[in-house]
Amino acid sequence: MKSAFHHGDLADGLLQAASSLIAERASSEFSLRELALSLGVSHAAAYRHFRDKRALLGELATRGFIALDEALATAANGAGPTAPERLTAMTLAYIDFACANAGAYRILFHPDLCERGDFPALTQAAMAAFARLEQEVAAGQATGSLKAELPAAIIASALWSAVHGYATLFLDRQIDHDGAAGDRPPADKTVLIKLLIDSVRR
Amino acid sequence: MKSAFHHGDLADGLLQAASSLIAERASSEFSLRELALSLGVSHAAAYRHFRDKRALLGELATRGFIALDEALATAANGAGPTAPERLTAMTLAYIDFACANAGAYRILFHPDLCERGDFPALTQAAMAAFARLEQEVAAGQATGSLKAELPAAIIASALWSAVHGYATLFLDRQIDHDGAAGDRPPADKTVLIKLLIDSVRR
DNA sequence: ATTCCAATGTTGACACTGGTAACTTTCCGG
DNA sequence: CCGGAAAGTTACCAGTGTCAACATTGGAAT
């Protein structure tokens, strides 16, 4: 037992509690005080472990990007060998991850975290997930199954834009892919992905 | 002089002040109190004109969608007659609008406004902007310049997803299309749009 | 074992926020 | 001219992030 007299590992406890909260309410908003209360600890205890609320958000986002990266890796590993197959699986997994973890996904792009450089680990985790996508594109270009006129990074960011847009529009209830709701446009992630992959195929 | 003994038209004044604030700080966050203060009015005066802060946000978002719709209309009108040309102009205008009006664009998708039905005017404005895009797609299908296998609405929402994703990633500083910044992926809106339009072309 | 210290946690405050109730001022229609 | 509705004010409430001052704990050095 390495530490902790009163709680155990409050830093991790806070992160866990925050994860649960944002998962159950599908929103990225919570207060430090309710977090502390739910752990039976005083409202200021968190400040022994995080400089700010932003710092906690940053750590949460870092873990989120790592989880997202793992989901992408799993999808790619479970798919066939060709780049179009693998990219189809990855983009689909991306959208599914976002929809299944609404609160967590929103935190990845929390406005308070958009100043790059404040949280190096976060930047690194985000870049790692992107690099996985970019590398898959580059591999496809090398094999000849994808267009090679454009840099892999530019193609990858175009793919990212599309799936990110779909995910956020869906989470914000601006589009719908379920039953017929007349008050918002219909959408289809399969169609989006098919159009995307076809547009980069050789 | 139609009315207003103390201020003139506080409802509109508040909306204007909010617009200025979010424009200059490129963020969608502001407090009702600073709004009131900047108009030389007490902090509770706003509640004579808006039930909530949400109501003010809703009105702001409604105006934002209308402005966006106008930007799309202008772009389409200034473009050539073929659907690919027009859609290229519209998607480009969409991204430029978002980047030029960061705060306003964020408000369009503010989490507090995602419950559809709370603000009918907002839903209607958002649907009108989407309808303009969808109609352009449908026109292209009718002329034979765009693929006709898929419903126009599904194609339109795919286009929307892509440009929305690009815009939000850019506003959140997750991608960059300016000089070489090593800490975020490079992107190119022109490439994205070209890929998109080619993927729906016949 | 005793002592000391750094890590951890608590209490109480501060400024700020959105929101409400009760009161006052102003204007307009009868 | 006057009464009531509209518009604005003051005073308050609960909740938030944050900080400083204090208390407690456990392990390390003696």
CB B135 within 8 A of CB B79: no
Q: Which of residues 76-135 of B touch strand D (CB under 7 A)?
A: none
Contact present, A117 and B183 (Cβ < 8 Å): yes
The CA distance from A30 to A15, in Å, is 12
Q: What is the pLDDT of residue B5?
A: 58
Helix (H, G, I), strand (E, B) or coil at B118: coil
Q: Which two tokens stand for residue A22?
A: 């944002």
**Å between B183 CA and C9 C1'?**
38
Among B28, B130, B185, select the one facing A157 at the smallest CB separation.
Answer: B185
Contact in structure between A71 and A130 (CB atoms under 8 Å):
no
Q: Whole-angstrom Cα distance, residue A147 to residue B29?
A: 42
In angstroms, the CA A5 to CA A48 distance is 14
A vs B: CB pairs below 8 A: 157
Give A41 CA → C8 C1' in Å. Answer: 11
pLDDT tens-digit readout, A1-44: 334 556 779 999 999 999 999 999 999 999 999 999 999 999 99
Which pLDDT belongs to residue B181? 74
The pLDDT value recorded for residue B2 is 36
B92 contact A CB<8A: no
- B53-200 topology per CATH: Tetracycline Repressor; domain 2 (1.10.357)
Residue A193: pLDDT above 90?
Answer: yes
Please give the residue of chain B at the shortest CA–CA distance from A27.
Answer: B111
Nucleotide nearest to A54 (CA to C1'): D17
Residues of B in contact with A163 (CB under 8 A): 161, 165
pLDDT in tens, A81-105: 999 999 999 999 999 999 999 999 9
Which residues of chain A make contact with B162, given a CB cutoff of 8 A?
158, 161-162, 165, 192
Strand partners, A201: A146
Question: pTM (2 decimals)?
Answer: 0.95
For testing the chain A interface, which of B130, B132, B157, B188 should be mutated: the one with the most A CBs within 10 Å?
Answer: B157
Distance from CA of B64 to the nearest CA of A (A): 15
Indicate the domain borders of chain B.
1-50, 53-200
Nearest CA in chain A to B134: A185
Tell whether A186 lies on the interface with B, counting CB pairs under 8 A. yes
Report the candidate in A133, A147, A126, A131 with the shortest Cα–Cα distance to residue A90: A133
Residue B129 pLDDT: 98
Q: How far is CA A189 from each of CA A82, B91, B157, B194, rounded to the nearest angstrom? A: 21, 19, 10, 20
| Structural tokens at position B16 | 């204007």
Question: What would the pLDDT profile of A90-145 be if each residue is shown by its tens digit?
Answer: 999 999 999 999 999 999 999 999 999 999 999 999 999 999 999 999 999 999 99
Interchain CB contact of A133 with B (< 8 Å)? no
Within an 8 Å CB–CB cutoff, is residue A135 touching chain B?
no
User: Is residue A76 scored above 80 in pLDDT?
Assistant: yes
pLDDT tens over chain B, length 202 residues? 334 556 679 999 999 999 999 999 999 999 999 999 999 999 999 999 999 999 999 999 999 999 999 999 999 999 999 999 999 999 999 999 999 999 999 999 999 999 999 999 999 999 999 999 999 999 999 999 999 999 999 999 999 999 999 999 999 999 998 877 789 999 999 999 999 999 999 9
Q: Are B162 and A157 a contacting pair at CB < 8 A?
A: no
Q: What is the model's pLDDT at position B1? A: 34
**What is the mean predicted confidence (pLDDT) over A53-65?**
98
Give me the residues of A, 104-123, that contact B with CB < 8 A.
106, 109, 111, 114-117, 123
Residue range B138-167, pLDDT digits in tens: 999 999 999 999 999 999 999 999 999 999
CA distances from B16 to A108, A110, B22, B35, B98 (A): 31, 26, 10, 10, 19
